[in-house]
């Protein structure tokens, strides 16, 4: 009975307990709220890449404008820096001072090549000549050329990244492409070009190298974007200004015929060892991602033929303008002899960062023509093997050709090095795992810093030798005078 009473009491208490509904937790939502939250979540996820891309764009333009402002500040101190007289910056072909002298001769109705100082294009003389009267005008043109070059490098890098992703997706490697962090190589390469000390020095040092680099990059951009008239125009003008970009016709043809750079036919991914496994540091395990070969790209001849047609049109147009300009000063033959002949014969042996001037200053005149042929043909010997090996990487082939020509050309400058170093950054994703990159970078910086020091030591050594020889000759002359007077 007691148990039943207890049960009843319990039942009574539970029966008469007021029904208080538990408060609904705040995290509970209705179905409509969940759908709304999902929609807002997806929209926020879609907005994040747009915000990131906008911040990247703003960041790039901030750094680009800052580089132009930095150049303007340095141009205010250009007289104190005296960069225009440095052999690393200015060459007989790219000096604005020589261009100003040629323009002065032209205004006096004389041949611009009569002073044996100017050896550039008469078209460049007609365009930049009036700007040399006002120093700030010529500098602004060079600054604009650098900025446009950086924009074109950025566009080319973006095209390379898109082509790389398209090729990986064609192999069925969408997951690999999404997992790998692709760096914005175009933005990095453009900023490296703008903030490269070599580029800045070329701008502030009254140099026409930025204009030559602009047309080289214009040709590369036109070929990578499929703009055939633009590619032909850039290649013709770049070759007309400095002759060595003639070799770029091979990678331009590959770009138009095959397209942009493609990955190798067999892709590999580095397999990282698991935690706790002991493996030697130098051991790298590679596993094949796919054995599926890339579809062999068929070479398209139509854009190549169109390119040659446009190139011939631009060549005839440039030659016609040069003939009109040089009509009263010897014609086209005088221009060829004073520009391309000056490049090929290496007549000016003033010091520069190349190797030809010192070699031909020491070689006997009897062997001069032979070694001229050897040095110039050395560039041509490398063209065909590299074209066969890198026919699927035309943009990288452009970098290789520019690096070789900048080392073996007659009158190189730091502006040539700035161009190929910036194009190298376009392949930052492929070269990210390159070994000894830090040591190579430090070596390049060390050589760049030691170059002006060694030049000054060499110049002062020659001055001391000349002074000592002249002192010895003066002493010998005085001794002979004393001997002659004693004999008399």
SS (H, E, C) 214-265: HHHHHHHHHHHHCCHHHHHHHHHHHHHHHCHHHHHHHHHHHHHHHCCCCCCC
For residue 54, give both structure tokens.
Answer: 């906008």
pLDDT band of residue 31 (cuts 50, 70, 90) is: very low
Greatest CA separation found in the chain? 165
Of 62 and 269, the structure prediction assigns the larger pLDDT to: 62
Q: Which pLDDT does position 484 carry in this prediction?
A: 43
Of 260 and 413, the structure prediction assigns the larger pLDDT to: 413
For residue 453, give both structure tokens.
Answer: 């020091």
Q: Which pLDDT does position 33 carry in this prediction?
A: 46
Of 196 and 431, the structure prediction assigns the larger pLDDT to: 196
Residue 44 has pLDDT above 50, yes or no: no
Q: Which pLDDT does position 234 carry in this prediction?
A: 94
End-to-end Cα separation, the chain, in angstroms: 165
Of 124 and 172, the structure prediction assigns the larger pLDDT to: 124
CA–CA distance from 415 to each of 196, 212, 323, 399, 440 (Å)?
10, 9, 29, 14, 20
Answer whether 184's CB lies under 8 Å from 161's CB: yes
Question: Average pLDDT in the 161-170 region?
Answer: 71
CA–CA distance from 7 to each of 4, 14, 16, 18, 20 (Å)?
5, 10, 14, 19, 23
Give the strand pairing for 285-290 and 267-271. Answer: antiparallel
Percentage of the chain lying above the pLDDT 90 cut: 18
Of 232 and 138, the structure prediction assigns the larger pLDDT to: 232
Q: How far apart (Å, rounded) are the C-alpha atoms in residues 344 and 375? A: 10
Q: How far apart (Å, rounded) are the C-alpha atoms in residues 93 and 350? A: 12
Q: Which pLDDT does position 245 carry in this prediction?
A: 92
Q: Which pLDDT does position 59 carry in this prediction?
A: 77
pLDDT band of residue 248 (cuts 50, 70, 90) is: very high
| Residue 35 three-state SS | helix
Q: Mean pLDDT score of the chain, rounded to an integer?
A: 75
Q: Which pLDDT does position 252 carry in this prediction?
A: 93
For residue 354, give both structure tokens.
Answer: 């190349």
Question: Average pLDDT in the 201-216 region?
Answer: 89
Question: Average pLDDT in the 210-229 region?
Answer: 92
Classify residue 113 by burial, with Cβ atoms within 10 Å: 0-12, 13-18, 19+. Answer: buried
Compute the CA torsion angle 97, 318, 345, 251 (nearest 10 deg). 110
Q: How many CA atoms lie within 13 A of 341 on its CB side?
A: 10
Question: Average pLDDT in the 209-230 region?
Answer: 92
Helix (H) or strand (E) holding 452: helix 437-487
Answer whether 202's CB lies under 8 Å from 96's CB: no
* pTM check: above 0.85: no
Q: How far apart (Å, rounded) are the C-alpha atoms in residues 126 and 345? A: 25
Q: How far apart (Å, rounded) are the C-alpha atoms in residues 55 and 61? A: 10
Answer whether 269's CB lies under 8 Å from 289's CB: yes
Residue 328 has pLDDT above 60, yes or no: yes
Residue with tokens 């400058």: 413
The residue among 155, 271, 145 whose CA lies nearest residue 222 is: 155
Question: Average pLDDT in the 198-215 region?
Answer: 89
The residue among 374, 370, 371, 376 whose CA lies nearest residue 359 is: 371
Q: Which pLDDT does position 453 carry in this prediction?
A: 76
Compute how many other C-beta atoms are within 10 angstroms of the C-beta atom of residue 300.
12
Question: Average pLDDT in the 390-405 region?
Answer: 90
């Amino acid at each position: 009975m007691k148990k039943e009473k207890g049960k009843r009491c319990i039942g009574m208490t539970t029966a008469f307990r007021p029904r208080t509904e538990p408060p609904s937790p705040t995290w509970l939502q209705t179905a409509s709220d969940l759908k709304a939250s999902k929609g807002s979540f997806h929209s926020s996820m879609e907005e994040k890449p747009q915000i990131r891309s906008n911040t990247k764009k703003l960041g790039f333009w901030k750094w680009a404008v800052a580089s132009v402002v930095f150049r303007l500040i340095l141009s205010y101190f250009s007289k104190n820096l005296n960069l225009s007289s440095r052999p690393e910056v200015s060459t007989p072909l790219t000096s604005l001072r020589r261009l100003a002298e040629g323009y002065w001769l032209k205004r006096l109705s004389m041949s611009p090549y009569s002073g044996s100082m100017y050896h550039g294009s008469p078209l460049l003389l007609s365009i930049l000549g009036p700007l040399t009267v006002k120093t700030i005008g010529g500098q602004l043109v060079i600054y604009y050329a650098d900025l446009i070059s950086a924009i074109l490098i950025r566009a080319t890098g973006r095209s390379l990244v898109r082509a790389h992703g398209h090729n990986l997706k064609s192999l069925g490697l969408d997951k690999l492409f999404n997992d790998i962090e692709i760096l914005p190589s175009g933005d990095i390469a453009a900023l490296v070009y703008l903030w490269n000390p070599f580029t800045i020095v070329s701008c502030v040092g009254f140099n026409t190298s930025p204009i030559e680099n602009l047309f080289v990059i214009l040709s590369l951009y036109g070929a990578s974007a499929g703009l055939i008239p633009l590619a032909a125009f850039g290649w013709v003008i770049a070759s007309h200004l400095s002759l060595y970009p003639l070799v770029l016709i091979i990678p331009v043809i590959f770009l138009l015929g095959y397209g942009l750079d493609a990955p190798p036919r067999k892709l590999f991914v580095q397999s990282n060892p698991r935690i706790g496994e002991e493996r030697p540091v130098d051991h790298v395990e590679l596993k094949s991602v796919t054995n599926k070969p890339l579809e062999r790209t068929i070479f398209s001849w139509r854009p190549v033929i169109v390119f040659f047609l446009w190139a011939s049109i631009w060549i005839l147009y440039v030659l016609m303008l040069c003939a009109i300009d040089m009509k009263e000063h010897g014609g086209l033959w005088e221009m060829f002899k004073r520009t391309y002949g000056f490049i090929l014969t290496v007549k000016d042996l003033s010091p520069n960062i190349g190797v030809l001037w010192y070699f031909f200053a020491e070689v006997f005149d009897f062997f001069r023509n032979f070694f001229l042929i050897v040095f110039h043909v050395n560039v041509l010997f490398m063209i065909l093997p590299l074209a066969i090996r890198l026919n699927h990487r035309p943009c990288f082939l452009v970098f290789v050709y520019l690096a070789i020509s900048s080392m073996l050309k007659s009158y190189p400058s730091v502006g040539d090095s700035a161009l190929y170093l910036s194009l190298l950054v376009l392949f930052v994703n492929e070269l990210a795992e390159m070994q000894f990159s830090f040591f190579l970078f430090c070596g390049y910086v060390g050589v760049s810093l030691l170059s002006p020091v060694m030049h000054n030591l060499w110049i002062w050594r020659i001055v001391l030798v000349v002074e000592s020889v002249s002192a010895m000759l003066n002493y010998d002359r005085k001794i002979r005078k004393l001997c002659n007077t004693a004999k008399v």
